[in-house]
Amino acid sequence: SLPSAVKIWEVGARDGLQNESVVVPVAVKLEFLSRLADAGLSVLEATSFVHPKWVPQLADAAELLAGLSRRDGVVYPVLVPNERGLDRALEAGVTHIAIFASATETFASRNLNRTLDSQFEMFAPTVSRALAAGLDVRGYVSMCFGDPWEGRVERAQVVAVGERLLEMGCSQLSLGDTIGVATPGQVESLLEGFRDVSRLAVHFHDTYGQALSNTLAALRCGVTTVDSSAGGLGGCPYAESATGNLATEDLVWMLDGLGVETGVDLDKLVETSAWMAEQLGRPSPSRVVRALTK
């Protein structure tokens, strides 16, 4: 069976723009966020408080949040890897953060400059301080299905990392197929490995065209929060071969067809992604955006 409603966790401004070769001006990012809110999206992952040398595309995080006019009913989570990032995020007045762990040794090193084990030493004080400050903390797990350096990733390894984040106090866990290699059977198997599906979200990249099939499999397992990126922007600069996220338009088209509520106005969203594609100087990879802007 399917849920009657799905919460879309829009990551375009963060996961999308972090992987663009151009640095998008703050004013354009603010207009993007404003248009996404107009289109009915209620979770807008806005930026990351990471090291500006690692992700120069998001080095303007403080300026962005200072310029943001927050809408009622919309939350603006930001990625925070460590206490330094948390300090910056608190200064910017955020209410929702997300830490991001790796399920593999190689990606922990490449993305966080830490070992698989020592990443938790970075997260533990970050999460406890964030919770004490009254913030909501989401936990991402990357490379849940495959890793470009290590190949297939064992389910037990992903579950172990994820359960540690939940035990630290993360309210939700987003399971990331960072390089987009998963297929639906693998998704079902991973979800079954966790004790409580209600605390899980899924985060698919569409490299092999499986993101929607994987999403449907996850919904049938009881997942009700799905990450996606307007226009299919995105990827990850520290993961070779990670192409765009599942496009929000593709997701909304499927959910509209299934009669599953999202609160999103597809026409407004497509207009926004077409506008963003113009700003970036290249067409949106989303099939639905292309079909509806012909």
Residues making contact with Mg ion (CB under 5 A)? 15
Closest C-alpha among 161, 155, 217 to residue 190 = 155
Choose the one of Mg ion, ligand HMG, none that binds residue 118, judging by a C-beta under 5 to 8 angstroms depending on kind.
none
236 is catalytic: yes
Closest residue to bound ligand HMG by CB: 176
Choose the one of ligand HMG, Mg ion, none that binds residue 273, judging by a C-beta under 5 to 8 angstroms depending on kind.
none
Token digits of residue 235:
């990827």
Token digits of residue 59:
């080095």
| Closer Cβ to ligand HMG, 170 or 266, answer by number | 170
| Closer Cβ to Mg ion, 202 or 219, answer by number | 202
Task: State the minimum distance, in angstroms, from the CB of residue 124 to ligand HMG.
Answer: 14
Task: State the minimum distance, in angstroms, from the CB of residue 154 to ligand HMG.
Answer: 16
Rounded Cα distance, 99 and 112, in Å: 11
C-beta pairs of 20-29 under 8 Å, 24+ apart in sequence: 20/57, 20/233, 20/280, 22/280, 22/281, 23/56, 23/57, 23/59, 23/60, 24/57, 24/279, 24/280, 26/60, 26/63, 26/64, 26/67, 27/67, 28/279, 29/60, 29/64
Q: Which of 144, 170, 221, 236 is catalytic?
A: 236
293, 274 contact by CB (below 8 A): yes
In degrees and rounded to multiples of 5, residue 212 shows phi and psi of: -70, -40
| Closer Cβ to ligand HMG, 85 or 231, answer by number | 85
Rounded Cα distance, 55 and 142, in Å: 17
| Closer Cβ to ligand HMG, 56 or 256, answer by number | 56
Task: State the minimum distance, in angstroms, from the CB of residue 92 to ligand HMG.
Answer: 12
Task: State the minimum distance, in angstroms, from the CB of residue 177 to ligand HMG.
Answer: 7
At 10 the three-state DSSP class reads strand
Task: State the minimum distance, in angstroms, from the CB of residue 224 to ligand HMG.
Answer: 19
Q: Is 62 exposed, middle or buried (0-12, 13-18, 19+ CB in 10 A)?
A: middle
Across the strands, what pairs with 21? none
| Closer Cβ to Mg ion, 15 or 105, answer by number | 15
The residues of the shown chain that bind ligand HMG, judged by CB under 6 A, are 15, 18, 48-51, 54-55, 79, 81-82, 84-85, 88, 100, 111-113, 140, 142, 176, 178, 203, 236, 238
At 294 the three-state DSSP class reads coil
Q: List the catalytic residues.
A: 236
